[in-house]
């Protein structure tokens, strides 16, 4: 049920008044589809904003900026990128949720784990059902990585050091996939969480910079997102069911099995793409279809494939139904482990 307060109530009252003023001329219900269709034909008639809830330079920001120009050419209006960092993505996501769901304000971030964990553990005053993922443009798996000059040559050596309180540090974005995966791994090996020094960062760019600069001992980070710093790293384990890029490191579950742990849930990667308020599709289906078509045209174009490659971001077209099912499943997995950071 909609909470009719604030802007929502004002929109409702305005629409009701407009409908009542038409009484005696023609039924408001009869005119509504025509008016909505006309609005869809004219839309967009003003700039569209893609909100990235992190600082500039991170993978979500780079993806948004690769999309902005080609989408603006198709839609006929400027598409601008606006950074609203804070709360591990929660502040920007909340801001988008509070705007009119008219298609003029979009969200680009990692649906899982960042949006999921902003809701589950960060206290963001939004619900998972408030958003829809248009496309899982980039499904990036995780890696356990150390600096190339690190003394730790294997996951087993790193784990052994973690058993000594205060000896090892790790970089995280609070409650992100890497943070959660680290806690799950420690729990499976009966290592107290207090043994590890957690250093928090507000976004992927400073997180990667800390590891590349050898400022923390290890991180569990997204592999593709770390491509630009890979020459500075040593990969100790691949947090996935396969090693698609032939990094030469063992799979996390294989390495954990050798350490006596059971199979771990895989939650260390990121699923990133353009998102919209769920109400957008419900209230403006024609606009939704127009935006989705423009997004697909861009992502499937050869020109965009080159631009995405240069920016170090993914360029897959999966579609809204399969994409949403993918992140819904991941959200359920994250929900079952949210208590680890509460």
Do the Cβ atoms of 269 and 240 come closer than 8 Å? yes
Q: How far apart are CA 105 and CA 79, in angstroms?
A: 10
Q: Which of 6-20, 154-168, 272-286 has the lowest mean pLDDT?
A: 6-20
Domains in the chain with CATH codes: 45-139+270-341 (3.40.190.150), 142-258 (3.40.190.10)
How far apart CA 20 and CA 225 sit, in angstroms, is: 53
pLDDT digits (tens, 9 = 90+) for 93-129: 999 999 999 999 999 999 998 899 899 988 899 999 9
Mean pLDDT of 9-21: 40
CA 101 – CA 237 distance, rounded (Å): 42
Distance of alpha carbon 120 from alpha carbon 174, whole angstroms:
12
Q: Do residues 221 and 139 touch, judged by C-beta distance below 8 A?
A: no
Largest Cα–Cα separation, the chain? 82
Q: Is 189 helix (H, G, I), strand (E, B) or coil?
A: coil
pLDDT in tens, 18-62: 433 433 433 433 444 444 444 556 999 999 999 999 989 888 999
pLDDT of residue 268: 67
On the CB side of 35, how many CA atoms lie within 13 Å of its CA?
12
Q: Would you state the structure tokens that stand for residue 37, as one six-digit string?
A: 């269709």
- pLDDT per residue as tens digits for the range 264-320: 888 867 899 999 999 999 999 999 999 999 999 999 999 999 999 999 899 999 999
């Amino acid at each position: 049920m909609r909470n009719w307060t604030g802007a929502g109530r004002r929109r409702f009252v305005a629409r009701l008044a407009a409908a009542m003023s038409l009484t005696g001329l023609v039924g408001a219900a009869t005119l509504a589809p025509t008016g909505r269709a006309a609005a869809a034909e004219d839309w967009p008639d003003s700039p569209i904003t893609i909100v990235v809830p992190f600082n500039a330079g991170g993978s979500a920001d780079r993806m948004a900026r690769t999309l902005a120009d080609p989408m603006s050419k198709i839609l006929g209006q400027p598409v601008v990128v606006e950074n609203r960092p804070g709360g591990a993505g929660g502040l920007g996501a909340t801001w988008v949720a509070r705007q009119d769901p008219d298609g003029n304000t979009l969200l680009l971030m990692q649906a899982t784990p960042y949006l999921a964990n902003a809701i589950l553990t960060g206290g963001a005053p939004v619900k998972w059902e408030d958003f829809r993922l248009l496309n899982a443009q980039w499904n990036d798996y995780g890696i356990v990585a150390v600096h190339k000059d690190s003394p730790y040559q294997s996951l087993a050596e790193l784990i052994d050091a973690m058993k000594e309180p205060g000896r090892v540090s790790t970089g995280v974005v609070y409650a992100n996939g890497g943070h959660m995966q680290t806690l799950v791994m420690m729990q499976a090996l009966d290592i107290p969480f207090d043994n590890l020094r957690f250093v928090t960062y507000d976004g992927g760019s400073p997180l990667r910079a800390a590891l590349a600069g050898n400022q923390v001992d290890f991180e569990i980070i997204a592999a593709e997102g770390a491509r630009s710093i890979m020459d500075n790293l040593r990969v100790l384990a691949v947090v996935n069911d396969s090693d698609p890029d032939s990094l030469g490191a063992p799979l996390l579950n294989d390495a954990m099995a050798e350490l006596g742990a059971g199979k771990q849930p895989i939650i260390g990667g990121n699923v990133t793409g353009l998102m919209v308020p769920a109400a957008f599709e419900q209230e403006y289906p024609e606009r939704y279809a127009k935006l989705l078509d423009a997004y697909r045209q861009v992502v499937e174009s050869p020109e965009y494939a080159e631009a995405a490659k240069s920016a170090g971001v993914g360029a897959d077209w999966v579609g809204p139904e399969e994409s949403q099912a993918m992140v819904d499943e991941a959200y359920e997995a994250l929900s079952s482990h949210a208590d680890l950071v509460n």
